[in-house]
């Protein structure tokens, strides 16, 4: 089953509408969707290394736009939609402390958390709820999301064939590690931060 899912994803990654699907996932992940865009970026770059920079650019632009939506949710709709999303992901206990940290460390929080598997939607909603400086938020989001996606694209473009061979030979291990990274991001934000 995992092999069929992998083959389907690789086939989807080389289709003409793959960039549109990536944009939708990347946008949604920055404001409300739980799956990171890396789940699409990796097979897309492996399938089409010649399009690595375009893939990273689409992921960056749509992630920042989705982050702006997340900021708006935190700023304008926190009492209704924002709190519901925070509660849905189980972060309500840590959210107040996270929000207060913005007073002292806001820029650094955005820069560091934007590079990690920690769910970016929490950063965007918290930025809006804390009324963090919007232009600084946008610039930090561009820098951190761009850096993350372009590094992934560069590594996959440079080492794509060995990585692809490794992934195909050890598909279960890679899928398990990816799932653990996603779940780990949620656990870190819930219990550590």
pLDDT in tens, 148-161: 899 989 988 988 77
Residue at 124 is within a domain: yes
Q: Is the whole model's pTM more than 0.85, yes or no? A: no
User: What are the pLDDT digits (tens) for 118-177?
Assistant: 678 878 888 898 888 999 999 999 999 999 899 989 988 988 777 767 766 666 666 676
Residue at 28 is within a domain: no
Residue at 151 is within a domain: yes
Residue at 119 is within a domain: yes
Angle at 98 between CA 93 and CA 99, to 5 degrees: 105
Q: Across residues 20-27, what is the average pLDDT?
A: 89
Give the residue numbers spanning the domain of 92.
Answer: 60-193
Q: How many domains does the chain have?
A: 1
Residue at 45 is within a domain: no
Residue at 114 is within a domain: yes
Residue at 191 is within a domain: yes
Short-list 55, 63, 57, CA closest to 32: 63
Residue at 165 is within a domain: yes
């Amino acid at each position: 089953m995992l092999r069929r899912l992998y083959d389907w994803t690789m086939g989807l990654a080389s289709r003409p509408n793959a960039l549109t699907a990536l944009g939708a996932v990347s946008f949604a992940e920055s404001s409300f969707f739980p799956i990171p865009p890396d789940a699409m970026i990796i097979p897309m770059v492996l399938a089409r290394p010649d399009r690595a920079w375009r893939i990273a650019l689409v992921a960056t632009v749509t992630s920042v736009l989705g982050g702006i939506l997340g900021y708006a949710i935190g700023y304008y709709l926190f009492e209704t939609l924002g709190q519901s999303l925070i509660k849905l992901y189980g972060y309500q206990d840590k959210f107040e402390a996270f929000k207060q940290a913005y007073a002292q460390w806001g820029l650094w929080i955005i820069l560091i958390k934007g590079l990690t598997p920690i769910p970016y939607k929490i950063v965007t909603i918290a930025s809006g709820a804390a009324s963090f400086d919007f232009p600084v938020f946008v610039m930090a989001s561009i820098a951190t999301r761009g850096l993350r996606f372009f590094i992934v694209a560069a590594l996959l473009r440079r080492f794509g064939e060995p990585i692809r061979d490794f992934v195909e030979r050890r598909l279960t291990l890679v899928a398990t590690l990816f799932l653990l990274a996603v779940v780990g991001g949620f656990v870190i934000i819930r219990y550590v931060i």
